Amino acid sequence: MAIPRKVKGEPKKFLTPRQQELYTLVLCGNSNPQICEKMDLGLGTVRAMLQIIYRYFGYKNKEDLLVRHIDQALVQEQITIMLSQEDDDENF
């Protein structure tokens, strides 16, 4: 299996539908056994899929994935607030 190159941007844009599902389950706080049950996969398969996602985006582990996702969401929220303020200033 080829190791995907590290990418930047919204992770879900670059994932297969099953990887997106797994990514979402991780973000919702599901453990690996819970993900296995919800996706009808074995534990080894879930771990392998997670490793692919980690390598793809340069994450070290599940905690790193969550922290970076939260950081990205906070930055996006700040940008939205700044743009909204600029729009308000232009309307005066």
Residue 71 pLDDT: 78
How far is the C-alpha of 56 from the C-alpha of 79, rounded, in Å?
A: 26
Domain assignment present for residue 2? The answer is: no
Q: Can you list the positions of beta strands (E) in the chain?
A: none
| Per-residue model confidence as pLDDT tens digits over 28-81 | 889 999 999 999 999 999 999 999 999 988 899 999 988 888 877 777 777 777
Token pair 């995907």 is found at 4
Residue 1 pLDDT: 40
Give the structural domain span for 50.
Answer: 14-90
Can you give the CATH number for the domain in which 35 is found? 1.10.10.10
Domain assignment present for residue 67? The answer is: yes
Alpha-carbon separation of residue 79 from 22, 32, 74, 83, 85 (angstroms): 28, 33, 9, 6, 10
Both structure tokens of 8: 């930047």
In sequence order, what are the residues at sequence separation of 6 or more whose Cβ sits closer than 8 angstroms to the Cβ of residue 20?
12
pLDDT band at 91 (very low <50, low <70, confident <90, very high): low
